[in-house]
Structure 1
Amino acid sequence: MSVSAFNHRWASVILEALARHGVRHVCIAPGSRSTPLTLAAAAHAHFICHTHFDERGLGHLALGLAKGAGERVAVIVTSGTAVANLYPAVIEAGLSGERLIMLTADRPLESIDCGANQAISQPGIFSSHVTDALNLPTPTSTIAARWLVSAIDDLIARQTHGAVHINCPFAEPLYGESDEEDAAWSDALGDWWQNSKPWLQQSVHFQPPLLHDWESGCQRRGVVIAGCLSVHEGKQVAQWAATLGWPLLSDVQSHSGQPLACADLWLANPKAQSSLQRAELVVQFGSRLTSKRLLQWLSSCQVTEYWLIEDRAGRLDPAHHRGRRIVSPIGPWLSQHPALARPPWAESLASLSSMAKSCVEQRLATQFGEAQVASRIVELLPPHGQLFLGNSLVVRMVDAFAQLPVEYPVFANRGASGIDGLLATAAGVERACCRPTLVLLGDLSALYDLNSLALLRQSSAPMVILLVNNQGGQIFSLLPTPLATRQRFYCMPQQVDFRHAAAAFGLQYASPESWYALLHDVTQRWKLGGVTLIELKVAPTAGGEALTQLLQQVSEL
């Protein structure tokens, strides 16, 4: 029996098993040890294969595909440090919930800890950041194919959120002609090859818990918090809160329309804090909140009860409230707990929100820069498109200054909130959704993931990367550290002209110097198509200063 041929047959069973669980996208990095998996994926008619030479970017590409498609996405890499480069994407998926399947090729056991090339200890490498792991044996016909498929089915059936790790050792030789000597091994699976169902079919029937005291609960003065929600959930939550007459404090990723816009500003106002002190119940849907002021209010609020509803398990409440942690899909839970129409009890918040929005518009009307762009981001959005937000100062300013349309798709990496892999994640989102995509991120984020500009050359819809070049990590300009120390060790100013990066990767480029020039450039890109990197060269500290000054102004209204 040919070792290389059986390796391929073994890998083909693995990939076929994953296809039965809805995997369509497979992200592949080059490598020799992973050849059986790569060839099996390439030969499978069901898969859309994506490639990238950088495993860190590849992991984030998969993360973006999983975000956009709402499906499991598989990743194939070779052994050694290639595996370790997946770590940031695994961590982010574990916190934000995207379902990734990491297929890591490995040396057989006899090659580990003996000085063999590119051989590291891979089982357990992702620790608690994966939800589950399966360390496969080196392929052998003495292990029945039904064991392999049932082991994979069992692992995937338990994957409700986050990444799983399947470590796949392969012995050499890895290359050779296929043969039929070992066909009986896989043929033993019978008509499984002709249907589309998993070998081991497991089902979990989940019914959202009915709160029997809801009728009395909805009579209280409540506050609704909308965290990271799906497009449909955001609209449902907004309608539910409006019917109840409860104020809705919503995150930039809530898709709720943010009816009380600029909450990150007006929550610092003593009048808002006084009004919200009357609240008796907080009901939060989704987690991962961006606003610092909202998190501070949640930490200090004194309410009778706090409920957090999300379909993922875990506390997800950094303030550790006494209350109820309800693990349930949000849509069905809302249906089981209909809103009882009541008049608003905190009407002053709407007035504060309106005044805060007016302050933002007046303060930033003539000041071209990242703060103005964040406040007017809606004017740049492509019709029937989507928005991807970077981290650090950019996402905070959009959350504080903008009011995004209800149900307009917004994506971000707000699990670990790192700046790694943002361009690659945006590329994955675009590929999954095939919609015009606006990406807004900072210069250090772009530099950190510059390799992933290579992924954007394959964009199927118009794409604009709006890159704010404020000379370094200016979110750190808000820190009360000595200026010289802050510049050297935190902001780290750089002198990079991204025109050359765009040219290196074959992207279109523009660098407008006014709001109207920017609006024209972006509008034209939606019409002409392609991928354009638009660099906004702005004053280093202007964005942070605008946020600080508006916080002060709104707090004194």
Structure 2
Amino acid sequence: MSTCSFNRRWAAVILEALTRHGVRHVCIAPGSRSTPLTLAAVQNGGFVCHTHFDERGLGHLALGIAKASAEPVAVIVTSGTAVANLYPSLIEAGLTGEKLIMLTADRPPELIDCGANQAIRQQGIFGSHPTGVLNLPRPTRDISAHWLVSVIDTLLSNQENGPVQINCPFAEPLYGEMDDSDLTWQESLGSWLTSEKPWLAYGRVRTSVQQRDWFFWRQKKGVIVAGRMSAEQGKQLAAWAAMLGWPLISDVLSQTGQPLPCADLWLANPDATRELDNAQLVIQFGSSLTGKRLLQWQAACNPDEYWIISPLDDRLDPAQHRGRRLVADIGAWLEQHPAENHPCWAPRLRELSQQALACATQATARFGEAQLAQRIASLLPDQGQLFVGNSLVVRLVDALCQLPAGYPVYSNRGASGIDGLISTAAGVQRARPRPTLAVVGDLSALYDMNSLALLRHTPAPFVLIVVNNNGGQIFSMLPTPVEERERYYCMPQDVEFAPAAQMFGLGYSCPDNWESLAQTVAEAWQRPRATLIELRVDEHTGARTLQQLLAQVSQL
């Protein structure tokens, strides 16, 4: 009886079980030990398979697919350090709730801790970050196929949010033709093999609970804070807030249309904080807040109660307010708690926000990253989507611009790292094949440059803007030691990205004024390929512009 053949049957059952839990996309890195899993995925007609040679980028590719599709995504890697390279994407998914299923091939137990090649201790490698871990035994005919599908169903039925790991040891031989020696083991699953349901179906249903005193609270003065949510939820929340007459302070990822734009500027004004101090209830929807002034106000505010509504289970409140933590789908919660029509109780905030937006528009007349952030809405393609990088880029967009309501915006604002941004954006487009604009900094692009390979063949136009301010200029806004700042914090690399675009066969442009940039982007939307646009800008102007605007708006 062939070990190779049984490995393949064991893996085929694992992959088939994943289809019963909504997995449609599988991301695969090259490797020998993972051969049974790879071949099982490729031969299963229910999957769209994606490949990448860099496991760190592969994990983020899967993360992007999961973000945009709102479905679980499987990842297959071989044993050894290939597994460790999934750690950053797994951590991010744990904080933002995407369902990743990490299928990590492993050496069998007898090859661990004995000097065998590419054999490391993989059990528990991700610590407390997965929401569930399943350490499978080496494939053996002594364990029924019923057990295998049951334990997978149990793991995935408990995966409400975040990643899980299934560690899969395989003994050699790994290669060879399938035979019929173990067909009865697989066929013992009977009609399940051609059905669409899990072997073991769990009956857990989470429904949000209506707050019985909502009719009382909606008469009060309230403030709404909008974090990360879907485009539909963002539009729904904006209409709900407008009906109540409550100020809506929106993060760049809220997709609400930011009715009070430039919040990170006007929150620096004492009039704004005095007005907001009158709030009796603050309701925060979603998490991953970006703006520094918003986070400072959120930490300092002291309403009668502070509510947080999010489908994630974590507390999501670093300031530990007194109130309610309501785990619920945002859209469903809004439907359960109808708004009542009231006039706006804080008109000064609307005045301040419009003044701040006017100041931002005037202050960004000079070509550079601040101007890009302020005018980015004019570059967005129709029926497209936006991916915003981390560090200074996302802060400038959050503080200076107003995005259209319901326009899809994605980012990695869980751990807020600069690793895997290009690959995550590529994943977003693979799940939603729309024109995609992605904006990242130069160090972020260097960190994930391998993933430019994922942009060689795109399903729709893709524009990657790399803001090259020669280093991590976010540190210019922090009280880092001046003498050590450049060498140990900003780390300028003095690089150009034209050779990178050429190496991966991407279109390239380096405009030096707004008109040229706008024309280049408009032309790129007409081509079914990826275009890398490098903006070489002054190192300090972006950070200084934001600091100057904060000082100006605080005095309005």
What letter is aligned with 2:286?
G
Partner SS, residue 386 of structure 2: strand
Q: Displacement, 1:295?
A: 0.6
Task: Tell me the distance in 1 between the aligned counterparts of 2:142 and 2:479.
Answer: 65
Task: Tell me the distance in 1 between the aligned counterparts of 2:423 and 2:516.
Answer: 27
> Deviation string for 1:504-555 (max 9, x for gaps)?
0000100000000000000011012311000000000000000000000000
Correspondence for 2:35? 35
Q: Displacement, 1:176?
A: 1.1
Does the CA contact (< 8 Å) of 2:459 and 2:528 recur in 1?
Answer: no
> Deviation string for 1:432-472 (max 9, x for gaps)?
10000000010000000000000011211000000000000
2:519 equivalent to 1:520? yes
Task: Tell me the distance in 2 between the aligned counterparts of 1:119 and 1:227.
Answer: 42
Partner SS, residue 435 of structure 1: coil
2:555 equivalent to 1:556? yes
Correspondence for 1:288? 288
Partner SS, residue 334 of structure 2: helix
Task: Tell me the distance in 2 between the aligned counterparts of 1:68 and 1:282.
Answer: 29
Q: Displacement, 1:202?
A: 1.1
Partner SS, residue 32 of structure 1: coil
**Equivalences for residues 372-521 of structure 1 within 5 A:** 372-521=371-520
Correspondence for 2:348? 348
Correspondence for 1:126? 126
Task: Tell me the distance in 1 between the aligned counterparts of 2:13 and 2:181.
Answer: 16
> Deviation string for 1:85-140 (max 9, x for gaps)?
00000000000111000000000001111111111110111111100000000000
Task: Tell me the distance in 2 between the aligned counterparts of 1:331 and 1:509.
Answer: 41
Q: Displacement, 1:331?
A: 1.3
Partner SS, residue 464 of structure 2: strand
Q: What are the ranges of 5 or more consecutive residues in structure 1 without an aligned counterpart?
A: none
Task: Tell me the distance in 1 between the aligned counterparts of 2:480 and 2:329.
Answer: 44
Q: Displacement, 1:204?
A: 1.7
> Deviation string for 1:247-273 (max 9, x for gaps)?
000110001000000000000001111
Between stretches 247-256 and 478-487, larger displacement belongs to 478-487
Does the CA contact (< 8 Å) of 2:458 and 2:528 recur in 1?
Answer: no
Task: Tell me the distance in 2 between the aligned counterparts of 1:524 and 1:203.
Answer: 51
Q: Displacement, 1:312?
A: 1.3
Partner SS, residue 458 of structure 1: coil
Task: Tell me the distance in 1 between the aligned counterparts of 2:527 and 2:121.
Answer: 50
Correspondence for 1:168? 168
2:306 equivalent to 1:306? yes
Q: Displacement, 1:44?
A: 0.7
Correspondence for 2:218? 218
Correspondence for 2:188? 188
Partner SS, residue 528 of structure 1: coil
Task: Tell me the distance in 1 between the aligned counterparts of 2:131 and 2:481.
Answer: 42
Correspondence for 1:543? 542
What letter is aligned with 1:421?
G
What letter is aligned with 2:529?
G
> Deviation string for 1:346-395 (max 9, x for gaps)?
01100000000000111112x00000000000011011100000000000
> Deviation string for 1:291-346 (max 9, x for gaps)?
11001001111211000001111101111101100011111111111001111100
Correspondence for 1:78? 78
Task: Tell me the distance in 2 between the aligned counterparts of 1:528 and 1:55.
Answer: 29
Task: Tell me the distance in 1 between the aligned counterparts of 2:216 and 2:198.
Answer: 45
Correspondence for 1:333? 333
Q: Displacement, 1:28?
A: 0.4
Correspondence for 1:208? 208
2:265 equivalent to 1:260? no
What letter is aligned with 2:176?
G
What letter is aligned with 1:17?
A
Partner SS, residue 211 of structure 1: coil
What letter is aligned with 2:367?
F
Q: Displacement, 1:205?
A: 2.2
> Deviation string for 1:152-210 (max 9, x for gaps)?
01100000111000000000111111100100101100111121111011122222111
Partner SS, residue 284 of structure 2: strand
Correspondence for 2:248? 248
Task: Tell me the distance in 2 between the aligned counterparts of 1:279 and 1:48.
Answer: 49
What letter is aligned with 1:497?
E
2:44 equivalent to 1:44? yes
Task: Tell me the distance in 2 between the aligned counterparts of 1:186 and 1:394.
Answer: 52
Partner SS, residue 146 of structure 2: helix
> Deviation string for 1:5-31 (max 9, x for gaps)?
000000000000001111110000000
Task: Tell me the distance in 1 between the aligned counterparts of 2:145 and 2:457.
Answer: 37
Does the CA contact (< 8 Å) of 2:445 and 2:466 recur in 1?
Answer: yes
Partner SS, residue 525 of structure 2: helix
Q: What are the ranges of 5 or more consecutive residues in structure 2 without an aligned counterpart?
A: none
What letter is aligned with 1:254?
S
Does the CA contact (< 8 Å) of 2:390 and 2:418 recur in 1?
Answer: yes
What letter is aligned with 2:77?
V
RMSD: 0.7
What letter is aligned with 1:25?
H
Task: Tell me the distance in 2 between the aligned counterparts of 1:22 and 1:54.
Answer: 25
Partner SS, residue 168 of structure 1: strand
What letter is aligned with 1:339?
A
Task: Tell me the distance in 1 between the aligned counterparts of 2:391 and 2:205.
Answer: 40
Task: Tell me the distance in 2 between the aligned counterparts of 1:199 and 1:162.
Answer: 22
2:8 equivalent to 1:8? yes
Partner SS, residue 273 of structure 1: helix
Q: Displacement, 1:64?
A: 0.4
Between stretches 279-288 and 482-491, larger displacement belongs to 482-491
**Equivalences for residues 311-322 of structure 1 within 5 A:** 311-322=311-322
Correspondence for 1:361? 361
2:232 equivalent to 1:232? yes
Task: Tell me the distance in 2 between the aligned counterparts of 1:350 and 1:274.
Answer: 14
Correspondence for 1:63? 63
Task: Tell me the distance in 1 between the aligned counterparts of 2:481 and 2:230.
Answer: 42
